[in-house]
Amino acid sequence: TLRVKILVLGDSGVGKSSLVHLLTNHSELTNPAWTVGCSLQVGLHEYRSELTGQAERLFFLEFWDIGGYPMHKNSRGVFYHGVHGILLVHDLTNRKTELNLSRWLHESCLGADTPPVLVIGAKSDLCKADALAKRPNGGEAAARIGCPEILLSCVDTRSLSAGTTNAVKLDRFYDQVIEYRLRPRASTPPRVGQAISRPNRQQSKLLHGE
């Protein structure tokens, strides 16, 4: 089973941890705490490739939920390698968080080509209905980056139930991420000074063998 790495980025306090909990456990996060560094959660996705017509394959989606403190900016660079998809999260009640999304994208995109991006507007339950109605096809940030947008509330498990537009857009995003992961591309040499982690054989046996 293959894994894909999806970064979850956004300002501090927008609801990234709640969102990731909703995506992986399909339930509400009852006691959110400040994320320091990176919190890793794993979800499952079944991918059927229309082109090759293969059977469905199960993929592990690793969500790297990175804490948004401005003072930790100098140490976050270690998480940005080998990324296959990016979720940009902003708070619908605070417009400044949406304006900062392009800065987050710029900070995390290290290579020449950008992986698939999806913009998510969180806390829609705290927002007035007319403000939501003004943005049916995505707000400013999504338009500038050129990617779709989902509006949801992380405390409402029905926002992502099967069949809704949100769930369809999310599935399409996952498929794009997996296709980005599977496509053949020239291997890039590691950057100077980049840490290369190779788990030793004993650790691998413990983790994967069982």
Partner 1 sequence: MTVGSDSVVMLASMCAFFALGWVFFLKHLFRDYEVRHWIVLVSFSVTFALSCGMFELIIFEIVGLLDPLSRRLWWRLCIFAMLILVMVVLPYYTCYFAISSASFLPRRRSVRSALALACWLGFVWLFWRLGDPFPILSPNHGIFSLEQCIGRVGVIGVTIMALLSGFGAVNYPYSCMHVFVRPVTQSAVLGIERRLLQTLDLVAAKRRRAALLRRDEAQSRQASGWSLPWTAAAAAARRSGPTAASVESEAANHEELGRQLFLELHELKTAQERAAHSRTLQGRYFNLLGWVFCAYCLWKLCSCTINIVFNRVGKVDPVTRALHICVQLLGFRLDVQFWSQQVSFWLVGIMAVTSIRGLLLTLTKFFFALASTHSSNIMVLLLAQVMGMYFLSSVLLMRMNMPAEYRHIITQVLGDLQFHFYHRWFDVIFLLSASSSIAFIWVAHKQTVGKSEHESLLLR
Quote the least distance from Cβ 199 to partner 1, whole Å.
Answer: 6
Element counts in the chain: helices (H) and strands (E): 7, 6
Count residues contacting partner 1 (CB under 8 A)? 39
Of 41-49, 108-116, 144-152, 182-190, which segment contacts partner 1 by CB under 8 A?
41-49
Report the distance separating Cα 60 and Cα 46, nearest Å. Answer: 9
Radius of gyration of the chain (CA): 18
Q: Residue 159's closest CA among 23, 1, 4?
A: 23
Mask for 47-66, x = binds partner 1 (CB under 8 A): -------------x-x----
The answer to whether residue 70 forms part of the interface with partner 1 (CB under 8 A) is: yes
Antiparallel, parallel or unpaired: β 117-122 and 85-91: parallel
Interface residues for partner 1 in 80-109 (CB under 8 A)?
91, 93-97, 100
The answer to whether residue 208 forms part of the interface with partner 1 (CB under 8 A) is: yes
Report the distance separating Cα 64 and Cα 55, nearest Å. Answer: 28
The answer to whether residue 44 forms part of the interface with partner 1 (CB under 8 A) is: yes
Report the distance separating Cα 139 and Cα 111, nearest Å. Answer: 26
Alpha carbon separation from 119 to 140, 148, 169, 199 (Å, rounded): 10, 6, 11, 33
Quote the least distance from Cβ 13 to partner 1, whole Å.
Answer: 4
Report the distance separating Cα 85 and Cα 71, nearest Å. Answer: 24
Residue 189 or 193 with smaller CB distance to partner 1: 193
Q: Which of 36, 55, 133, 186 binds partner 1 (CB under 8 A)?
A: 36
Of 114-122, 148-156, 177-185, 200-208, which segment contacts partner 1 by CB under 8 A?
200-208
The answer to whether residue 39 forms part of the interface with partner 1 (CB under 8 A) is: yes
Residue 41 or 176 with smaller CB distance to partner 1: 41
Phi, psi of 16 (to 5 degrees): -70, -45
Alpha carbon separation from 162 to 27, 133, 136, 165 (Å, rounded): 14, 22, 20, 9
Mask for 10-29, x = binds partner 1 (CB under 8 A): -xxx----------xx----
Binding residues for partner 1 (CB under 8 A): 3, 11-13, 24-25, 36-44, 60, 62, 70-72, 74-75, 78, 91, 93-97, 100, 193, 195-197, 199, 203, 207-208, 210
